[in-house]
Structure 1
Amino acid sequence: MRDKATKFIILGVTLIIFVFIIASSGALVEYLDAGQMMIIQSPISGELKADFEPGVYWQGFGRVTKYPKRSQFWFSAKNDQGKRDDESIKVRFNDGGHGNISGSVSWSMPLDKTKFIAIHTAYGSSLAVEQQLVRTTIEKAVYMSGPMMSSSESAAEKRNDLLRFIEDQIQKGVYLTVTQEDKQVDPLTNQTKTVNIVKIRLDSKTNEPLRAEESPLEIMGIKVYNLSINSVIYEKQIEDQIAQQQQAKMAVQIAIAKAKEAEQKAITTAKEGEAEAAKAEWKQKALMAEATTKADQEKKVAETRAAQDKNVAETKASQDKSVAETKATQELRVAELETSASFQTKQKLILEGTGMAEREKLIMEANGNLEKKLAAWVEVNKAYADAIGKHQGNWVPTVTMGGAATGGATAATNGAADLVNLMMVKTAADIGLTLDPSKATGTAAQPQKTK
């Protein structure tokens, strides 16, 4: 019985421990999501431990506070953005007009453990950070930006400046400003009024805005970005005033536009006239240019042709000159050769004549020129014989005194023969031919010198 009771006690204690572990398992470990960061406060020492990376961490019954790494803060008047309540931020402009700025801004926690623990120590939750740090910083920036412009300026020409001023002061701190009175003309009443103008003081060296204080968000390491203003809700009086100003400006713009339109029409008409005149002038200039171009082209063509003809003529003249020079050179060479040949021929003939004369001289010295003398003697005697043969009369008188009568015919015959012999002797004597065999040397007759 005792052993059985002991078993029941052990089983009961085990069951109690198991139930306790199950019940307290949520206090032993904690899971961190990727979009979160957390602080675990030790239940014994109170030490704060910061974790940023996703995963499971030992809690050890400590207190866990989670923060989003990034969050969107809405200060919107629209019920579908942020809360259903109107959370827009009120602003006052330098003309006394009021409005509510509606929009949103993104903010992110620092990933530095020291700054994260400091934020947790100061605010304790992400909601407190958003309402007590982020919202108040934005409200201060909006409040300090309004006096830098009028209501109408915030709705028109300085709308972008309003956004820039607010975002810059949220991130780096509010400006150090100076207020100056300025007299301006009301666009509706055309009356002069005094307006307090707030101007930003600038550093004389860097020309950067001077800050009245450093931004709390920057001190804590919280980054603000993507500021967006979806509307500026003005008071009804300001809305009406802005509407009237817009209408007045539109009327002025319309009048200016009409004046400019009329002016533009006049300018257009004048320009059209000038354009037509210029068109006609340029048309004439184009014709003149075309004619000039054509004349220049024709001139260039003529000059080119003249140059080509000149080149051809010069080439031909050069060729003719070269041919003439070549021909003259050839003819000169031919003449020189002919002259040389004539000179050689002359020398040849002179030499031949000299040789022949010398030969004849030698022949004459050798035989007294017997062949020619004999040939001449023969020819002369032929002539005598021919003449005698043709003579019909008597060569000697038929009657002779002191001779016998019977010897008349004989005497006549002898007389003719004597005459022939006499003439032969005379011819032989004339040509220097000796017919006396006794005086001949060898077989040839020796020539006889004549006086």
Structure 2
Amino acid sequence: MNHEEQPVPAPNKLPFMQQRQWITLAVVGGIILISFILGGQLFETVRKGTYQIKQAAVTGTMSAKMTPGLWLQFFGDIQTWPKAETFYFTADRDEGEARDQSIEVRFNDGSLCHISGTTRIMMPTNEQDAVNLAVQEGYRSYQDLEQKLILPVIRNALRLTANLMSARESYSDNRADFIFWAWDQVQNGLYETIEETRKVKDLVSGEMVTKTFKIIKRGSDGNPVYQRNPLNGLGIRLANFEIKEFRYADKVKQQIAAQQEALMAVATARANAQRAEQEALTKEAQGKAKVMEAKYEKEQDKIRAVVEATKEKEVAITQAQKELEVARLQKEAAELQKAREIVLGEGEATRKRLVMEADGALAQKLDTYEAVMQRFAAEFAKQKWVPEVVIGSGGGGYGNGPGRNEAANLIHLLTAQALQDLGLDLKIPSRNGSK
């Protein structure tokens, strides 16, 4: 029995819209897969505290991104640099790398020393300086810059500074100068130096030796003359420079100790000598002070004596002037008294003269007459002219006789004589003016 062949059914076909969706999903998935695989070559993130330098994949153009954030790498070559970092040159293995990074220096006395310290490196802050470090200066990384630029700058500054002094000076007297000079050269460039030969006394042996020293060359203004600083123009700045340790060789330590002992002995001897000299000067000064004190006391006594004498002189002068003034006043008073008495006497004399002229000095004459008569009477009474009692005849009675008459006559005679001498006229004038 023949059966007709049935047609084979065609496979099921998806609708056109569904096919398109699947193609889109496949493309997106491919892109996601490619992005996942190559994503690190398309975008880059700048983290805080860093900046990145990119070299374009095709053109080779250099660029930099200085701020944190996401930016397009697009298969370019990226280098990450720190904005600031601490540079270690130390023997401490706990700082920086786990190895001795100290810098060896040699002082002008031949002594060796390892110096440890740190400094802060401040990298460029603008895109152009950042790109120049990689392009013009050729530093391929920050580590490359540390080893080829920062380390040589600090090492040269330390070594040149060490060559300007001895180990003992760096240990004691000039330690501060060492640190200052080293930092000054790190910032501004190495010093230009000149050589100077001079004889110095060896601190240990005490002998004079000739040595050549390097000293800093200075300009007309007195400031150091610098060589070119390799850091100039790179946008790099160093800060917080610190020297932590001077690690001297054992032999150098022993030498420094011996020198210090010698210096201490010299200093002690010098101090003793200075003390003795000072004591002598003090005694001399004290002696001079005592002499001056005694002299001053004598001068004081002299001054006191002069003052006292001057005072006495002034007092005497004052007293003399006072007495002179008193005498002058007394003289003037006496002269005035004399003049007064003269005036009074002249007035009295004039008065008496006028009175006498007026009455003929009758009162004076009468007083004189009275006195004369009293005198006569007294003298007369003393004379025994006749007996006071006469007994007999022919006498004429008591009190009569020749004796009595003689006495009466004598009295009359003396009275007349006195009146005549005094110019007295005892007659009473009559009313018509006749006597």
TM over 0.5: yes
Partner deviation per Cα, 1:130-153 (whole Å, 9 max, x = no partner): 111100111122222222111111
Instruction: Find out whether 1:33 has 2:36 as its counterpart.
Output: no
Q: Which amino acid aligns with 1:79?
A: R
CA distance 1:265–1:183, shift in 2 (3 Å): closer
- Answer yes or no: is 1:186 the counterpart of 2:205: no
Normalized against structure 1, the TM-score is what? 0.56
Separation (CA, whole Å) in 1 of partners of 2:65 and 2:77: 13
Q: 1:207 aligns with which of 222, 226, 233?
A: 222
Corresponding residue of 2:253: 239
> Which of 104, 109, 113 is equivalent to 2:123?
109
Identity of aligned residues (%): 31
CA deviations 1:300-349 (Å, max 9, x no partner) are: xxxxxxxxxxxxxxxxxxxxxxxxxxxxxxxxxxxxxxxxxxxxxxxxxx
Corresponding residue of 1:50:
64
Deviation at 1:89, TM superposition (A): 0.9
Q: In the alignment, what sits opposite 1:436? A: none
Contact 1:95 1:195 in 2 (8 A): no
**Cα 1:272–1:237, aligned 2, differ >3 Å: closer, same or farther?**
same
Corresponding position of 2:231: 217
Q: What's the CA shift for 1:266?
A: 7.2
What's the offset of the Cα at 1:188? 0.7
In the TM superposition, what is the alpha-carbon distance from 1:5 to its structure 2 partner?
8.0
Tell me the distance in 1 between the aligned counterparts of 2:197 and 2:249. Answer: 24
Call closer, same or farther: CA 1:23–1:276 in 2, change over 3 Å: farther
Deviation at 1:40, TM superposition (A): 2.0
Residues matched between the structures, number = 286
1:183 Cα deviation (Å)? 2.0
Q: 1:11 to 1:55 in 2, by over 3 A?
A: closer
- Relative to structure 1, is the Cα distance of residues 2 and 129 closer, same or farther in structure 2, using a 3 angstrom cutoff? farther
* Counterpart Cα distance in 2 of 1:34 and 1:5: 48
Match of 2:92 in 1: 78
Deviations along 1:56-94, one digit per CA (max 9) or x if unpaired, are: 222223222121111111101112222221111111111
Conservation of the 8 A alpha-carbon contact between 2:66 and 2:126: no
Match of 1:289 in 2: none
- How far off its partner does 1:180 sit? 2.2
Amino acid at match of 2:225: L
Unaligned runs of 5+ in 1: 286-451
Structure 1 residue 198: deviation in Å? Answer: 0.5
Structure index of larger Rg = 1
Shift of 1:10: 5.2
Corresponding residue of 2:140: 124
* Alpha-carbon distance in 2 for matches of 1:275, 1:26: 94
Displacement of 1:36: 1.4
Structure with the largest fraction of helix: 1
User: In structure 2, how many angstroms separate the alpha carbons of the residues matched to 1:95 and 1:153?
Assistant: 10
Out of 172, 187, 203, the position equivalent to 1:171 is 187
Unaligned runs of 5+ in 2: 1-11, 301-435
TM-score for the superposition, normalised by structure 2: 0.58
Tell me the CA shift for residue 22 of structure 1: 2.7
User: The residue matched to 2:168 in structure 1 has which SS?
Assistant: helix
Separation in structure 1 between the aligned mates of residue 95 and residue 272 of structure 2, nearest angstrom: 44
> Is the Cα–Cα contact under 8 Å of residues 113 and 246 in structure 2 kept in the other structure?
yes
Output the CA distance in 2 between the equivalents of 1:143 and 1:97: 12
Tell me the equivalent position of 1:153: 169
Q: CA–CA distance in 2 between the matches of 1:16 and 1:276?
A: 113
- Displacement, 1:113? 2.4
Aligned pair in 2 of structure 1 residues 51, 6: CA closer, same or farther (>3 Å)? closer
Alpha carbons of structure 1 residues 194 and 259: separation in structure 2 relative to 1, 3 Å: closer
Q: Does the 8 Å contact 1:76/1:103 carry over to 2?
A: yes
Structure 1 pair 184–2 and aligned structure 2 pair: CA distance change class (3 A): farther
Cα distance in 2 between the residues matched to 1:32 and 1:80: 29
